[in-house]
Structure 1
């Protein structure tokens, strides 16, 4: 009669009393979309990116201002006293001067290209903000599933510790009745101590993962909904690397932003070249004040008792102002050379980014296809290792295997469990990363995962597919019959 090993039963004797290991009420469990919404509302990095975008978009009105009329007005009050020695004459008066000046650029090529550069830079900033918002979708998923991965890892290490504890108890019992020697007890004790150390480390990793989630969202979470094992593990659609690369070349947000970066650099180059061009402005001015303040003092009238500084004057003027730059100490030429290099820099950065996007897209496409096969292979590996462990334990009971064989088989089993869960989460995240590289990632992709989240997910019971025990028993029976 087969003595089938059950991982769930092994968990019954696992150490308890850990905050994250306790099952939280269903109402307190948080889903993936809620985590993303909290991150979008509270993430400090995203808030900083939005502020940066709002600041950079002000470059457009600032550049446009150089092409619009410039109007200024002012007033001044002056008190003056004039003493004349011969003939003795003293004059004291105070007067006000009011003035207004209007300037309208008519031909300012440098300012026009500066506006074009500012508009391109604003478009670049908008796309970079969108890329940051899209990256937050992926970051939310990565942080969320990092918690689930850590919880599943903790559950498997607890089960492993319980299994080694049971093996240690059996070794002690066999030693007490003389069926084994002290070496078996020491080997079992060493295996249990290692498993206990691994469980303590796994516990800390769960707490670290929840801390990362708090850092992302500025919210405290008690527990998260887990992902069901029924999640379809499918190849990407379309399963054509070239199609994904073409989509990435057309839609990757950072690549599109780099195109506007090149446009902004080219417009800045045109602006610098325009430093050699003449400028033409329409100017108008109005002044009203004492005649002496405007240079029209009536100094020729010096009759006794008559003030030579009496009377107000109004002055209006309108005209064109042409400026032809001839030499500025080499400043303009140096700025043109610098702008040439900035264009070259932006083009090379864009090319580097394009190559990186192509590489990442192809790599992620291969990764998703590999993950599909890996998940299935890792699942089969659990079945095979569980069957091997059961067979080894039977051999140990009849004396054909020793305690070292059993401990090694247990290590292989729980290692395959962790590898399987890692493969599952790698598949989910690589799918999202592939969509981000292609520029198609959106909150809808998180909503699509929602239907496979399990509100009553218990890592201690659900870290393995429910059909593994039967599959392992069937495989073991088949091997024994053979």
Structure 2
């Protein structure tokens, strides 16, 4: 009884899911529609866009070190005690207020700060490429979800049809048993095969529900009457040429190249940190006696040259650390290059295997259909048993499901090839969507605007709009 209730519950879920899929809109949804929704919905993209904006701010923070640094100070001091001078005693009690403004400006540091700025810029460019890589991940997940909903939906349809056929086979076996044409064994075989088919249908329905849930997670909504793609993306048949494209333009390759450049610049900045720096300084100070009339006002301005003599080996350690990190990034570049090439080669191999499997599966379906039709006719003449018919029906079912999987795998593999070469992006796919401009925020903050400046006010509006997303 529990199994019956559970089966009914699952079928109710499937029915509700199919209704939701088919009634959202009468218009069929194609793969491009799904990719647009995934691009607009993805929290992973939003997260990495925010990380990119944080990297943009690193440039602004280092740029600020080349600007005048102005600080103010204020304090109230209560003094007490007494002083004796030439046998003359005086009280030191009093309350004083003092305030001042201090200014400092870096004039020259042998390129340390400019080098840090350039290193931060390279990090920004690397983070942009990381965002492009995440974009590819989001699109590929959506493509897999799209194709798996289609695949599992077709599985359900095929198995539903199989159950209907086996129900007819069972009914016919029962009728023939009644007139003595077959034995009770034939009826039992038909019953067993029907039960097996119903179990397979329940599994297919469960897989379909899971595919719909994965679609919701990847795309942000339920699938809407998905349309079977009619053509594969355009790919180069030359694997070696594809590898060259990937090495030249894949976001993972571009990211690590910028990381190497940033590490080189950071090493140069660490070397420059061991040299002196020249800065301009100035100060205005004032002190007023709150309970009296004494006051003092003074100011100063000058040029200061400072340089390290001994810091316990800190600067030398920082230089060695920067050199080690540069070497690590160069090693990573070597590994990423090989990994990108390997991924391209593997992707093409998987695609070729999937295409070969698809061709074989089509031939298998054709042959299985001919065999099933023949066995059915022979069974009517008494030359075949019920078990022969059921076996032929199962072979046809297996062939059809293999073909569905193979054709789905071809599309997924084709887009995997596109991803392996770095071309699975909104720009390359030419999607009709408002694209995120990774340079827009950087252009607003690169000059380190203050909050009250026109640029700062414009930036506040941008941040407010981002906060509403």
Specify if TM > 0.5: yes
**Aligned residue in 2 for 1:149:** 151
User: What CA distance in whole angstroms lies between the structure 2 residues aligned with 1:341 and 1:366?
Assistant: 38
Q: How does 1:200-349 map to 2 (within 5 A)?
A: 200-221=202-223, 223-227=224-228, 231-232=230-231, 237-289=235-287, 311-349=294-332
- Go from structure 1 to structure 2 and tell me whether the alpha carbon gap of 1:444 and 1:128 turns closer, same or farther (over 3 Å shift): closer
1:89-147 CA-partner distances (Å, limit 9, x unpaired): 44654433232222112233433332222111111111111222233222222211211
Q: Is the 8 A contact 1:233 1:372 kept in 2?
A: no
User: What CA distance in whole angstroms lies between the structure 2 residues aligned with 1:359 and 1:345?
Assistant: 21
Determine which of 163, 166, 169 is the counterpart of 1:167. 169
Q: Is the 8 A contact 1:33 1:447 kept in 2?
A: no
- Go from structure 1 to structure 2 and tell me whether the alpha carbon gap of 1:273 and 1:127 turns closer, same or farther (over 3 Å shift): same
Determine which of 335, 339, 347 is the counterpart of 1:356. 339
Aligned-pair distance for 1:49?
1.4
**Aligned residue in 2 for 1:95:** 96
Note if 1:423 corresponds to 2:423: no
- Go from structure 1 to structure 2 and tell me whether the alpha carbon gap of 1:337 and 1:187 turns closer, same or farther (over 3 Å shift): farther
- Go from structure 1 to structure 2 and tell me whether the alpha carbon gap of 1:349 and 1:409 turns closer, same or farther (over 3 Å shift): farther
TM-score (norm 1): 0.78
**Aligned residue in 2 for 1:474:** none
**Aligned residue in 2 for 1:19:** 16
Deviates more, 1:183-192 or 1:311-320: 311-320
**Aligned residue in 1 for 2:441:** none
| Alignment RMSD | 3.0
User: What CA distance in whole angstroms lies between the structure 2 residues aligned with 1:267 and 1:88?
Assistant: 64
**Aligned residue in 2 for 1:4:** none
Q: Is the 8 A contact 2:112 2:268 kept in 1?
A: yes
Aligned-pair distance for 1:43?
1.9
**Equivalences, count:** 416
User: What CA distance in whole angstroms lies between the structure 2 residues aligned with 1:232 and 1:28?
Assistant: 20
Q: Is the 8 A contact 1:29 1:225 kept in 2?
A: yes
Note if 1:438 corresponds to 2:421: yes
1:154-197 CA-partner distances (Å, limit 9, x unpaired): 11111222222222222222222222222222222221111111
User: What CA distance in whole angstroms lies between the structure 1 residues aligned with 2:354 and 2:199?
Assistant: 30
For structure 1, list consecutive stretches of 5 or more residues without a partner in the other structure: 1-14, 294-306, 450-482
User: What CA distance in whole angstroms lies between the structure 2 residues aligned with 1:348 and 1:432?
Assistant: 29
User: What CA distance in whole angstroms lies between the structure 1 residues aligned with 2:378 and 2:207?
Assistant: 36
**Aligned residue in 2 for 1:57:** 56
Q: Partner of 1:328: helix, strand, or coil?
A: coil
Aligned-pair distance for 1:227?
0.9
Q: Is the 8 A contact 1:57 1:125 kept in 2?
A: no
Larger Cα-atom Rg: 1
Q: Is the 8 A contact 2:32 2:431 kept in 1?
A: no
- Go from structure 1 to structure 2 and tell me whether the alpha carbon gap of 1:429 and 1:310 turns closer, same or farther (over 3 Å shift): same
User: What CA distance in whole angstroms lies between the structure 2 residues aligned with 1:351 and 1:276?
Assistant: 31
User: What CA distance in whole angstroms lies between the structure 1 residues aligned with 2:261 and 2:397?
Assistant: 55
User: What CA distance in whole angstroms lies between the structure 2 residues aligned with 1:371 and 1:393?
Assistant: 32
User: What CA distance in whole angstroms lies between the structure 2 residues aligned with 1:21 and 1:191?
Assistant: 27
For structure 2, list consecutive stretches of 5 or more residues without a partner in the other structure: 1-10, 433-469
Q: Partner of 1:226: helix, strand, or coil?
A: coil
- Go from structure 1 to structure 2 and tell me whether the alpha carbon gap of 1:167 and 1:320 turns closer, same or farther (over 3 Å shift): same
Q: Is the 8 A contact 2:125 2:258 kept in 1?
A: yes
Q: Is the 8 A contact 1:35 1:144 kept in 2?
A: yes
1:451-471 CA-partner distances (Å, limit 9, x unpaired): xxxxxxxxxxxxxxxxxxxxx
1:242-291 CA-partner distances (Å, limit 9, x unpaired): 1111111111112111111111222222233334222222222222335x
User: What CA distance in whole angstroms lies between the structure 2 residues aligned with 1:238 and 1:220?
Assistant: 34
Aligned-pair distance for 1:447?
7.1
User: What CA distance in whole angstroms lies between the structure 2 residues aligned with 1:333 and 1:87?
Assistant: 58
User: What CA distance in whole angstroms lies between the structure 1 residues aligned with 2:362 and 2:427?
Assistant: 29
